[in-house]
Amino acid sequence: MPFFSVIIPLYNKEKFIGNTLNSVLNQSFENFEVIIIDDGSTDKSLEKVKQISDRRITIYTQNNLGVSRARNLGIEKAKSKYISLLDADDIWKPNHLQEHFNNIKKFPFGSLFCNAYELKLSKTCIIKAIYNTEKKDTPHVINNYFEASTIHPIGWTSAIVFNKNDFYDIGVFNPEFTSGQDLDLLIRFGLKKMIIFNPTITSCYDKTVMWSLSKENHQESKRALFNSFKTEENTNKSLKKYLNLNRYSLAIQCKLVKNKRTFKKLYPEIDKSLLNLKQKLLLITPYQLVILIKKVHLALIKNHIYISSYK
């Protein structure tokens, strides 16, 4: 039995899947299987995968049912007790699975294991993710996931491993959400399970890859996701602040794509008293000016200057 089952949902990623798979197959820890769920790709993604010959790779196909159902199917087919997620356009460093293996051996009762990661903001600008937690050099238990994730989240989809039994205990990926499915899952882990954080960086989140979440239906889905935890946030101050920051972030996304309809619903749902001054100002800034500020922000990033409204 493999120690890890690596689940890769695949949909129209022909330019990336080769490098992604190679980063898995080049892991220093070799006891794993790779399960690829092709979610009805219409490009050459599946052909690219079939060109790579490795006995550890298994491919399943489904109609275009979405990433949640693809991941759920992959986890259902998994032979291992420990599930490692990887998106088809992300890259692991060679130590990724070895670090997770070490953490599991050190914390056998952990449910969710999170490795630190980098953020690629431009072709030449890569920064370390910043966490709101005590700085430690060794893996440790995160007592408050939401408090620790108010700048960058402790957990990121392609940097986590979880116990398959705990996954089923908290509930599978919710296919009703067309955006933020991983966020929904991580919130449920944060509410109910033991989370381990390893400060060693083992992967890179490429934020330069084009994505389609500017669509209004995706933003409405994220808003519904946040509101699905209304009961829990009423009794959990850390979760309330965490969700409030996510609502703020979504509101800024709405401004950037001029989605006034969703912004109008979001604005009264945001507790302004939980925002810092930069966030409050951006929230009331006119749409066109927010777009201009974003352009300036991207220009600064190209010059290796990173400014965030979260700190």
C-beta neighbour count of 299 within 10 angstroms = 11
Same structural domain for residues 53 and 100?
A: yes
Same structural domain for residues 193 and 229?
A: no
CA 305 to each of CA 166, 169, 260, 289: distance values in angstroms, whole numbers, following the listed order: 40, 43, 30, 20
pTM of the model as a whole: 0.94
Task: From 72, 294, 169, select the one nearest 285 (Cα to Cα).
Answer: 294
User: pLDDT tens digits for 72-100?
Assistant: 999 999 999 999 999 999 999 999 999 99
pLDDT at 120 over 60: yes
User: Which token pair is 220?
Assistant: 């409405």
Please report how many Cα atoms fall inside a 13 Å half-sphere around the Cα of residue 26, on the Cβ side.
Answer: 11
Same structural domain for residues 155 and 114?
A: yes
Same structural domain for residues 141 and 245?
A: no
Last residue of a domain, which of 175, 206, 237? 206
User: pLDDT tens digits for 296-308?
Assistant: 999 999 888 999 9
Task: Say what the pLDDT of residue 11 is.
Answer: 96
Same structural domain for residues 170 and 94?
A: yes
User: Which token pair is 289?
Assistant: 């000016």
The structural domain count of the chain equals 2
C-alpha–C-alpha distance, residues 100 and 256, integer Å: 37
Task: Say what the pLDDT of residue 286 is.
Answer: 96
Is residue 310 in a domain?
no
| CATH label of the domain that carries residue 177 | 3.90.550.10
Q: Helical H runs in 78-176?
A: 96-106, 145-148, 164-170
Is residue 309 in a domain?
no
C-alpha–C-alpha distance, residues 240 and 178, integer Å: 22
Same structural domain for residues 165 and 183?
A: yes
Q: Which H helix or E strand runs over 154?
A: none
Parent domain of 30: 4-206
Long-range contact pairs involving 128-133 (C-beta distance under 8 Å, separation at least 24): 128/201, 129/156, 129/205, 130/308, 130/311, 131/197, 133/197
Phi, psi angles (nearest 5°) of residue 32: -150, 165
Q: Which residues are bridge partners to 36 per DSSP? A: 8, 59
- For 127, counting Cβ atoms within 10 Å of its Cβ (0-12 exposed, 13-18 middle, 19+ buried), the class is middle
Same structural domain for residues 52 and 149?
A: yes
Same structural domain for residues 252 and 120?
A: no
- For 137, counting Cβ atoms within 10 Å of its Cβ (0-12 exposed, 13-18 middle, 19+ buried), the class is exposed
Same structural domain for residues 224 and 194?
A: no
Same structural domain for residues 202 and 223?
A: no
User: pLDDT tens digits for 174-228?
Assistant: 999 999 999 999 999 999 999 999 999 999 998 886 554 455 678 999 999 999 9
Same structural domain for residues 155 and 67?
A: yes
C-alpha–C-alpha distance, residues 101 and 166, integer Å: 17
Same structural domain for residues 103 and 76?
A: yes
Last residue of a domain, which of 206, 233, 248? 206
Is residue 178 in a domain?
yes
